[in-house]
Chains A and B, each alone.
Chain A
Amino acid sequence: MTLFWQRLGDAAFALLPTIPYARPEKQACDGEAIVARGLSAGARFDGPAAFLAADFVIPCGCRTALIGPNGSGKTTLLRVLAGLVPPKAGTVLVAGAPPTPGRSRIAYLAQRPQLTEGFPLRLRRLVQMGTYAHHGWFEECRHGEASVDQALARLGLTELADRPVHALSGGQLQRALLARALVQGAEVLLLDEPYAALDAASREIIERFFFDQGHTFTVLMATHDPADLARFDRVLELRAGAVRTRHASSGHDQRDA
């Protein structure tokens, strides 16, 4: 009987047109991951600008630290690059195109993700949401099971897969959100202080994920930890409305690297 209803449901689904959320983005990143030209933005589109006329380029595969005092616009910059806030002026290209909703190659992790409290959802389903980027409207999740398993294993979450999301610790949740970005097929990871409130074990797993040899991501990570900077390839500094980039090891400033 259940099978009958399932078949009937599947047949009804097959009749519906599938309209993808995102344009298909298949080719791997090469060259420049993020290009900003004369970029000005503020936390709100109609509010004051946090930084003005910023020019910078981040090559593919580059792990960049984003530093600056509180209120200097780190979060705003990340949200502009994610396509959540439109820039006031200037242009920005992320993975070859302007960031708009529906780009599967860009992933953004907020400092405090605004998740509905007490929502009945298991961790596995949360990670599965990453595959929605490759599904369309009206389509039930059919593919991507293997990539979900892989992502869970890579972030050490396999045993927690059936745990309700609201029973996860902060570090476990952060890892789950990274696994979701992995499943989504993101190449450019925009991270807003992912280490805030993490225990050592979660932090180690996340660091291995970012700084592993053979990584495929371009990482732009807002951070307050000066001891951390040596692990990055570059540093992007926001100060008094200006943006400067430098190589993390050399230390000397470099305009428009």
Chain B
Amino acid sequence: MTNVMLDLLLEPLSEPFFVRALLAVALGGVTCACLGAYVVLRRMAFVSTALTHSILPGVVGALLLGFSPYVGALAAALLTAAGAAWLASRKGASEDSAIGVMLSVMFAAGVALMQQANSWRDFAGLLFGSVVAVGPADLRMIALTAAGILFGLRVLHKELELASFDEEYATLLGARPGLMRTLLLVLVALGSVACVSLVGALLTTALFVIPAATGVLLGRTVPQVMAWGVGCALAGGVGGLYLSYYLPAVPSGAGIVLCCALPYLLARIFAPRR
């Protein structure tokens, strides 16, 4: 019985694409969980959804025009963030609806571009994620982005924590909360571009929100929230990859998200009330 279990766990590891996907999901999961702690604590889940969805027109456009999909995705995400900020800057405009407008406009543009490309099938991986799609170059890219984001979070830890907790005091000390917010949005854009090949444009936002939401239920300090989030993301990521390996009908993105939701549900039921 133990042997059968072990075989089930080890068999996929002989496939190079699975090992690459495993590494990629570990790196992406850790990064998104740490970044997601701020996204969730600052109630920015909707912005992160908009940024991840807007990657779609960026990638499709880049493929049609023939330049790197990463550049296209990043440009589209930054355009969304800037557009939402500009729409919301008018007096009396709500940021919420500005983000909603940008999200749907960008996604609609992506759908229109996909029709231009004349083939929905090619983009299924882009929408829902595909483990086979992670090549050595993608893995390098993910590792580099993850290192950059984690380093940024580490060196700006006290500023981000202060600006997220008490914006006015951050202003008084000169810690520039507006700049911190912009920086956080840029990091979220970078993170979602790195993870889009794993879980797909529609579901990347789950990597930011679900592990961090689990962390918020269990952690008492920001580093604790991040640590619990990382645990949840790793468990969900690895579990999801195995799920989609043995059930090919389940795309990797869907598997990962479903497996992340399990620890969240457990934490929601069993976490001590505060």
Contact = CB atoms under 8 A, between A and B. Distances in A.
B116 interface: no
Contacts of B140: none
A132 B166 contact: no
Given A129-B169, A132-B173, A164 B155 contact: no
B272 to A, nearest CB: 12
A107 to B, nearest CB: 8
B156 interface: yes
B170 to A, nearest CB: 9
B166 A120 contact: no
Given A9-B154, A122-B220, A132-B158, A84 B42 contact: no
Given A12-B154, A139-B158, 16 more contacts: A102-B173, A110-B168, A114-B167, A114-B168, A115-B166, A116-B41, A119-B165, A121-B165, A122-B220, A129-B158, A132-B162, A132-B175, A135-B158, A138-B156, A166-B274, A167-B274
Interface in B145-186: 151, 154-159, 161-162, 164-169, 171-175
B221 A101 contact: no
B155 to A, nearest CB: 5
Interface of B: 41-42, 151, 154-159, 161-162, 164-169, 171-175, 216, 219-222, 224-225, 274
Contacts of A126: 165
Interface of A: 9, 12-13, 16, 21-22, 82-84, 101-104, 106-108, 110, 113-116, 118-122, 125-126, 129, 132-133, 135, 137-141, 164, 166-167, 180, 184
B214 to A, nearest CB: 13
Contacts of B169: 129, 180
A192 B42 CA distance: 26
B168 A120 contact: no
A22 B173 contact: yes
Contact of B171 (A84, A107, A141): A84
Contacts of B165: 115-116, 119, 121, 126, 129
Contacts of B174: 21-22, 101-102
B178 to A, nearest CB: 11
Contact of A141 (B158, B164, B224, B274): B158
Contacts of A119: 41, 164-165
A121 B42 contact: no
A101 B222 contact: no
Q: Identify the 9 closest CB pairs spanning chains A and B, nearest first.
A: A102-B174, A21-B174, A101-B174, A138-B155, A119-B165, A116-B165, A120-B221, A115-B166, A21-B173
A218 B81 CA distance: 44
